[in-house]
C-alpha cells in the first residue's frame, strides 16, 4: 500500500513538473464545449461578471477558454482562485459604477408553489 501511495505522489510531482516545463497549465484550446456539446473552445481574454455575496464584481482582461458556439466561459483553477480573491478584496478596487435594477413587468412563467 505504501509503495502505491509513493508512486502516486511521485506521479503527481512528475506531472506538475512536466506541466511547468511546458510553460504553463494544460491547454483547453479546441476542446469540445461541455455546455452545448457543439462548439470548440478558444483562448481569449474576457470581461467577467463575478457574483459574490450578493454583489457583482466586473473584472476585465480575464484569461478564459470561450466556446465559439454558445459563448460559455471556462477558467483554469488558478484563474478561478484569482477571481475569487479579487471579489473577496473588492473594497480595494478603485473604480466603481452604479447600475439601475428593475423587474421584468410581464413574466411569461408562472411561479409554482
Evaluate whether residue 36 is within a structural domain: yes
Mean pLDDT of 57-68: 96
Q: Is 24 helix (H, G, I), strand (E, B) or coil?
A: coil
Evaluate whether residue 12 is within a structural domain: no
> Domain residues for 53?
23-92
Q: Which cell numbers hold the place of 95?
A: 473604480
DSSP, res 110: P
CATH code assigned at 88: 3.10.20.860
Q: What does the pLDDT read at residue 108?
A: 78
Evaluate whether residue 100 is within a structural domain: no
* Total domains, the chain: 1
Strands (E) across 1-102 are located at 41-52, 55-67, 73-74
Q: What is the pTM of this model?
A: 0.65
The CA-atom distances, in angstroms, between 94 and each of 20, 26, 48 are 34, 33, 17
Evaluate whether residue 47 is within a structural domain: yes
Statement: residue 13 has pLDDT above 50: no
Evaluate whether residue 7 is within a structural domain: no
* Higher pLDDT, residue 70 or 19: 70
Amino acid at each position: 500500500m505504501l509503495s502505491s501511495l509513493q508512486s502516486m505522489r511521485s506521479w503527481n510531482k512528475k506531472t506538475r513538473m512536466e506541466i511547468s516545463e511546458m510553460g504553463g497549465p494544460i491547454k483547453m484550446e479546441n476542446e469540445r464545449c461541455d455546455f452545448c456539446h457543439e462548439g470548440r473552445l478558444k483562448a481569449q481574454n474576457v470581461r467577467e461578471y463575478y457574483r459574490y455575496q450578493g454583489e457583482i464584481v466586473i473584472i476585465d482582461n480575464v484569461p478564459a477558454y470561450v466556446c465559439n458556439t454558445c459563448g460559455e466561459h471556462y477558467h483554469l483553477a488558478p484563474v478561478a482562485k484569482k477571481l475569487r480573491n479579487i471579489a473577496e478584496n473588492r473594497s480595494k478596487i478603485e473604480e466603481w459604477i452604479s447600475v439601475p435594477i428593475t423587474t421584468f413587468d410581464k413574466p411569461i412563467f408562472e411561479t409554482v408553489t
